Structure 1
Amino acid sequence: MSLINEQVDHINGLSLHTISTPKFKTNTIVLKLLAPLRKEDVTFRALLPYVLQRGTKSFPSSTSLRQYLDSLYGATLHVDLSKKGENHIITFRMEVANEKFLSDSTPLLEKAVKLLSEILLKPLTDHDAFNQEIVSQEKRTLKQRIQSVYDDKMRYSNLRLVQEMCKEEPYALHVNGEIEDVDAITATSLMDYYKKSLETDKIDLYVVGDIEQELVKKHVSQYFQITKQENSVSSAKQSDVDKASAVKEKEVIEEQDVKQGKLNIGFRTNVTYQDDNYYALQVFNGIFGGFSHSKLFINVREKASLAYYAASRVESHKGLLMVMSGIEFQNFDQAVTIIKEQMQAMKNGNFSEEEFLQTKAVIRNQLLETIDTAYGLVEIMYHNVISLIDRTFEEYLDGIENVTTDEVREVAAKIELDTVYFLKGKGDQS
């Protein structure tokens, strides 16, 4: 039996993904708008969802909108932004009680679908622009969100690694946009961008819960009417993305008033989610730095006591592997050396059968845990939309299970060191 029963229908300019499961007592609705990362658009997109959630024609204030959500048995609404490969994704998430489990027969799912359609399609406007006061407030908040990255040195060092590593590539853009571009946005120019995004964005709507799929289709058909351009965008698939030129190793050292050094190292994997050897890359990363039994954790943190933390993660749609660690300033050279040694050990196939099998088991458990939440389940399935492939969850599990040690070595051989970034204290001589 399939673990995820996903049905996809194309309705009125969007793709509807219904996932019927008795696992959850609430219904979850996730709306995703995808467009390519572009310097001229990224700050507009970072502002837009926060303005949209502030009010609609029927609920012209945050207070009235939140009161209505409360009346739907405490339904919740959240927005966020993410970056997957060269794509910028706006996400609206709603969770609402399933009326099947209530004595009241209020059609909660229909009301939630209708409300989400209003937030997207019937925003609060002032003539042919967004509300000026709301836009001004959200611009101030956006600046604070962008600035917060600079105040959190762990996030900042990861951002700086990506900026140095992906210069001249869209992926270098920050998910929350550019602070210097915020002031120039007006209520009118944001409205113009909003209209363009509706016409051109790839829009996917996920509804997850103990639901009747045909009934959901009926509600979505009734409330969502989106007119798309003929050539509306699709995901920026990795093969369509300008591949980085031949990798040249570089080292970037930055000084700030920090007490702990942040060492971030970026590699090009030359493998993305759509590739058959993606499964092997996941197993590679688990053994290398993804888990507490990994080589980085044991050799850099435990044995050598060089790092407060040491781990690695894969950016599945851009083909990057990032190592993050916090070290004393004077340990920079030694830490870089040991991290490089662990990468070479992986390329040489120097890992045990126990490490290999343990990693596959942990990845499997992690995947199964992820689909135990509705949001996690949607994120897993959305990988297919971004990659323009159709990989079932069972294929994902089987792919991990069937990885061989030779395949891990082969995928390791493709990985190239790109950038070493180190944030250290001012005046430190190490």
Structure 2
Amino acid sequence: ITFRLEIPNEKYLKDQTPLLEKGLQLLAEIVFSPALEGDAFQSQYVAQEKRTLKQRIQAVYDDKMRYSNLRLIQEMCKNEPYALHVNGEIDDVDDITAEQLYETYQSAIQKDQLDLYVVGDVDSNQVHSAIDKYFKTEERTLGTIENNHADEKVQPKEVIDEEDVKQGKLNIGYRTSITYTDQDYPALQVFNGLFGGFSHSKLFINVREKASLAYYAASRIESFKGLLMVMSGIEVKNFEQAVSIIAEQFQAMKNGDFSEQDIAQTKAVIRNQVLETIDTAYGLSEFLYQQAAAQVEIPIEDFLANIENVTKEDIIKAGEKIQLDTTYFLKGTEGAS
């Protein structure tokens, strides 16, 4: 759960109101002193938020690109917490009560890890003193991160759903056995960039451009769960051919079928992406929070140096760990044009 507050820097205002302190005080009030009705959240707001949540969940089903990605994860991670969508299931929303919600909220405030980021041209002493004043929380013992590595050999499976869609959605999931804190994570990032992460990648050039098999074709990694996922939009009749050519590109990556120039280009794009992310206050907070969630501290210079130091051998070695898990296809029903 993220609370964000943006305020102008008081240094640049004629009125010398202590905006930073007032902002932190307001943020603390929002977090620790929410509006209540007795021992529960206010029922009118709970009803509003339940309506909004239902709309948010429904929006995923209406957007077939997002829906097919959700279905791939549900099939890949059956019986694992990761299979649960971030917004939950639409059928569970009505049963939420204002009392139960407040109990859950209190538990989160008292027990969950809390990270506070203040980004800007600020006086750190002033920030520390305001935080000590308004954010009084006890020390918390953090739980250990679940080990998501799959050691056993994965048995690949294929799942096909039929819906009234014009364009088929082919999503393929792989288990990488590599997560954010692993030594070979930078190599996995470069592998993904070469495979399907960017416009110079194998999937984009060979599946979308040369073979004209896909409206879009890309891949991404999930850094905490160790998944590599391919997303593509194809004509239903091209299913077998698309699966085959994506498998060929994946095998080419494992065989080291890429040049030093390809590697250098990929590293440059990753570097630019990271620098662009941390160039905004929100992006920098996200970058730092990813590390807090993983319980590691990697200075930005080290993070970029780790990418820069990846060799062709490292990429091939990371590729050896990656196993095909699930092929998911959302195809049009008969008669759909």
Contact 2:173 2:327 in 1 (8 A): yes
Q: C-alpha deviations, 1:110-141, integer Å up to 9, x for none?
A: 11111111111000001111111111111111
1:291 aligns to 2:198 (yes or no): yes
Q: Tell me which of 177, 182, 203 is aligned to 2:88.
A: 177
SS of equivalent residue, structure 1 residue 322: strand
Superposed counterparts of 1:354-373, under 5 Å? 354-373=261-280
User: What residue in structure 2 maps to residue 315 of structure 1?
Assistant: 222
Superposed counterparts of 1:21-420, under 5 Å? 90-227=1-138, 231=141, 233-234=142-143, 237-239=145-147, 241=148, 243=150, 246-420=153-327
Deviation at 1:182, TM superposition (A): 1.1
SS of equivalent residue, structure 2 residue 16: coil
Rounded to whole Å, the distance in 1 between the matches of 2:151 and 2:311 is 29
Rounded to whole Å, the distance in 1 between the matches of 2:146 and 2:132 is 32
Amino acid at match of 1:309: Y
Contact 1:314 1:321 in 2 (8 A): yes
Rounded to whole Å, the distance in 2 between the matches of 1:371 and 1:390 is 15
Cα RMSD after superposing both structures? 1.5
Amino acid at match of 1:334: Q
Rounded to whole Å, the distance in 2 between the matches of 1:226 and 1:195 is 13
5+ residue gaps, structure 1, are: 1-89
Q: How many residues align?
A: 336
5+ residue gaps, structure 2, are: none
Deviation at 1:244, TM superposition (A): 7.3
SS of equivalent residue, structure 2 residue 118: strand
Rounded to whole Å, the distance in 1 between the matches of 2:167 and 2:210 is 20
Rounded to whole Å, the distance in 1 between the matches of 2:152 and 2:22 is 51
Contact 1:269 1:416 in 2 (8 A): yes
SS of equivalent residue, structure 1 residue 91: coil
User: What residue in structure 2 maps to residue 63 of structure 1?
Assistant: none
Contact 1:96 1:108 in 2 (8 A): yes
Deviation at 1:366, TM superposition (A): 1.2
Deviation at 1:238, TM superposition (A): 4.4
Q: Tell me which of 328, 332, 336 is aligned to 1:421.
A: 328
Contact 2:7 2:23 in 1 (8 A): yes
Contact 1:238 1:317 in 2 (8 A): no
Amino acid at match of 1:146: I
Rounded to whole Å, the distance in 2 between the matches of 1:191 and 1:298 is 51
Amino acid at match of 2:70: L
Rounded to whole Å, the distance in 2 between the matches of 1:244 and 1:216 is 45
Deviation at 1:237, TM superposition (A): 2.1
Contact 1:296 1:311 in 2 (8 A): yes
Q: C-alpha deviations, 1:305-331, integer Å up to 9, x for none?
A: 000100000101110001000000001
Rounded to whole Å, the distance in 2 between the matches of 1:161 and 1:351 is 28
Q: C-alpha deviations, 1:287-306, integer Å up to 9, x for none?
A: 00000000000000000000
SS of equivalent residue, structure 1 residue 293: coil
Amino acid at match of 2:74: Q
Deviation at 1:389, TM superposition (A): 1.3
Rounded to whole Å, the distance in 2 between the matches of 1:354 and 1:274 is 27
Change (3 A) 1:245 1:151: farther
Structure 1 runs, 4 residues or longer, greater than 4 Å off: 241-245
Rounded to whole Å, the distance in 2 between the matches of 1:151 and 1:365 is 33
SS of equivalent residue, structure 1 residue 424: strand
User: When you count helix as a share of all residues, which structure comes out higher?
Assistant: 2
Amino acid at match of 2:113: K
User: What residue in structure 2 maps to residue 16 of structure 1?
Assistant: none
User: When you count strand as a share of all residues, which structure comes out higher?
Assistant: 1
Rounded to whole Å, the distance in 1 between the matches of 2:138 and 2:120 is 28
Deviation at 1:202, TM superposition (A): 0.5
SS of equivalent residue, structure 1 residue 422: strand
Rounded to whole Å, the distance in 1 between the matches of 2:150 and 2:205 is 34
Deviation at 1:245, TM superposition (A): 5.2
Contact 1:249 1:419 in 2 (8 A): yes
Deviation at 1:226, TM superposition (A): 2.9
Amino acid at match of 2:6: E
Contact 2:150 2:177 in 1 (8 A): no
SS of equivalent residue, structure 1 residue 265: strand
Deviation at 1:243, TM superposition (A): 4.4
Amino acid at match of 2:67: Y
SS of equivalent residue, structure 1 residue 247: coil
Normalised TM-score (structure 1): 0.76
Change (3 A) 1:428 1:392: farther
SS of equivalent residue, structure 1 residue 159: helix
Amino acid at match of 1:368: L
Q: Percent identity of the aligned residues?
A: 62
Amino acid at match of 2:228: L
Structure 1 window deviating more from structure 2 (314-323 vs 192-201): it is 192-201
